[in-house]
Every structure is written in C-alpha cells, then in structure tokens.
C-alpha cells in the first residue's frame, strides 16, 4: 500500500459525484413518499391535473424565489432557462386557475442552492413520465397546459447541473438539508392542494 493512499481514497469517497449518491440516499424516503402522494392526482382529468399543478406551484414558487434571493444566477448563469415559475403559471392560467405559493422556505446558503437545485432539476426527469400519462387525457385543455412538464426538454439541464455539482466545493450537510426542505415543501403543498 502506498503512503497516503488512504487519504486519496477518503478524498475520492467524498467527491461531488459521491455527493450525488449521498443526496439520493439521504432523500430516497422523502422522494418515495412524495411520488406516492403525487400519484394520487388523476392527471387525465382537468380537476386532478389542476390540483397537481397547484401543488407543484405551491412549492416551486417559494423554492425558486429562495434560489433567486440566494443568487442562483451567479452560480447557474442559465437560471432564466431553468426557472419554471412562468411556465407553471401559464399552465394554470390556461386551466382558469392561478399559481400561488403554499409554503414558506428558509433562506438558502450557497450549498443550500445545490440541494434545492438537486430536487428541482431531478423533478424534470419525473416530468417525462408524467407527460406520458397526460398524453392519455381526453380533454384537450390538459394537453394545452404542459409547459411546466415539458420545460427544458431537449436541453442538458440535468447533466449540466451534475457537472456543476461535481466541480463545486459544498458543505454536504447543508446540501442534504436543503434537499430535504425542498422535498418537504412539495409534500406540504401537495397536502394543501
């Protein structure tokens, strides 16, 4: 064994790519619970789909506001391409409803920005599957209100986020705590929708 090899192993084990795995592990229960809660919404009916969008907006709006207040655009210069607040507001407007924040979230640190972004950017991956369900909706109003679910399609937003996460020196505890807060915000908003 080489002298110092254990130090290298510890460093590699604590790399940002490892942070992604630790984030996934630390939030897996919250992610599973939220998925189960959101699956209760009938996305093929206007009422259920509207409730789903209300719940999503209820958390998304305050989370994106907290990101903006924390200077997310200084970390992610493509923030205007990533933000989905306008898209979800447009979808709800098309269904005759309004987007509103339903929860409050604490201010974010720089590391907290990464935890929150992990949840929001990861939700785009789930949106692809939800679009398949929405495509089965008979009501054309639902199909006309999918800007939120389609947002970022064809862009490498998730991959670019992961690259930034891997290159950033973060306080892991703050990243994980912020991710948990983001999942909890969606969970609370879904309860209230």
By the 10 Å C-beta count (0-12 exposed, 13-18 middle, 19+ buried), 177 is classed as middle
Query: What is the pLDDT at residue 10?
Result: 29
Cβ-based neighbour number of residue 150 at 10 Å: 15
User: 165 is written with which tokens?
Assistant: 């996460």
Query: What is the pLDDT at residue 191?
Result: 93
Look at residues 148, 135, 44 and name the one whose alpha carbon lies nearest to residue 92: 148
Query: What is the pLDDT at residue 140?
Result: 94
Query: What is the pLDDT at residue 9?
Result: 28
Query: What is the pLDDT at residue 11?
Result: 32
Whole-number Å distance between alpha carbons of 65 and 105: 9
Backbone angles phi and psi of 27, in degrees to 5: -115, 5
CA 10 to centroid of chain Cα atoms: 30
Query: What is the pLDDT at residue 17?
Result: 56
Query: What is the pLDDT at residue 136?
Result: 85
pTM for this model (two decimals): 0.89
Query: What is the pLDDT at residue 3?
Result: 35
Residue at token pair 């948990």: 180
**CATH code linked to domain 20-192:** 1.20.910.10
pLDDT, mean over the chain: 90
User: 19 is written with which tokens?
Assistant: 């942070």
Query: What is the pLDDT at residue 161?
Result: 97
Terminal-to-terminal C-alpha distance of the chain: 58
The parts of the chain modelled with pLDDT lower than 50 are: 1-15
């Amino acid at each position: 064994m080489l002298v110092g090899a254990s130090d290298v192993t510890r460093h590699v084990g604590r790399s940002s790519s490892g942070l992604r795995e630790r984030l996934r592990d630390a939030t897996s229960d919250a992610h599973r619970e939220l998925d189960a809660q959101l699956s209760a919404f009938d996305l093929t009916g206007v009422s259920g789909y509207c409730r789903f969008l209300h719940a999503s907006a209820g958390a998304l709006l305050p989370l994106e506001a907290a990101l903006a207040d924390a200077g997310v655009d200084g970390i992610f210069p493509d923030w205007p391409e990533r933000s989905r607040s306008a898209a979800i507001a447009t979808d709800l407007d098309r269904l005759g409803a309004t987007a509103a924040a339903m929860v409050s979230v604490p201010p974010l640190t720089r590391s907290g920005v990464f935890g929150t972004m992990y949840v929001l950017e990861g939700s785009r991956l789930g949106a692809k599957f939800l679009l398949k369900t929405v495509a089965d909706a008979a009501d054309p109003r639902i199909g006309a209100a999918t800007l939120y679910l389609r947002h970022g399609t064809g862009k490498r937003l998730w991959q670019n986020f992961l690259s930034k996460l891997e290159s950033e020196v973060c306080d892991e505890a703050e990243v994980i705590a912020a991710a948990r807060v983001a999942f909890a915000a969606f969970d609370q908003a879904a309860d209230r929708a």
